[in-house]
Amino acid sequence: MKSVILVSVLAFSACGLPGAKSQSPASQLKDETATSESLCAAWGRHENLSAFKIVKPFSEAVSDLEKAMIQVAVMQTDSSTPVTPDQAVDIFADRDNGGSLAGEVSYFKMRHGRGEKTLALATYYPGDNEYGALFQVWTFENGTQQVGMIGTIGDSDLYCLTPQSR
C-alpha cells in the first residue's frame, strides 16, 4: 500500500514541473500546430497538384474576388505604381500585347492539417518569369468567400509569408 501511495504522489508532483508533459488535448493540439508545416510550404512541396478550376482573364470574366487577387499579384510585383482592380486585370491579362503573356487564376484543393483547404494561385508573366501571389480561400455557409495571401511568386520562386506574432 505504501508503494502505491508513493507512486501516486510522485506522479502528481510532476504536474507543473519543467519538463513534465501534459496530456491534455489542448496541449497536444498546440504542439502539433507548432511543428506543422505552413499551408504555403505544403503547397510548394506538392509537385503534381492539378487545378480544379482555371480562370483566364484575357478571355473570361472574373469575379470581384478574383479582381482583388489579381490586383494584389500585380501590385506586389510592381509596388511603385498603384493600380485599380480593372487596370490590374488589363496588366495581368497582357491586353496591350494581345494576351501573349496573359496570366491565370488557378484553384487547388489539398489536404492540410485536419481538413481540406482551397488555394488560389494568381500568376502572370510581366517578363520572362512567373510572378504573382498564393491565397488561401475560405468559403462560408452563405456562399461568400474571403481570401488571405499566404505567399508570393517572384522570378518563378515561391516565397511563403510568415505570420507575425503579437
The pLDDT of residue 165 is 56
The pLDDT of residue 164 is 60
The pLDDT of residue 125 is 92
* Cβ–Cβ under 8 Å, residues 132 and 149: no
Of 94, 88, 84, 63, residue with least CA distance to 73 = 88
Mean pLDDT by 10 residues, the chain (166 residues): 40 42 40 65 88 95 96 89 93 91 95 93 92 96 96 94 69
The pLDDT of residue 24 is 39
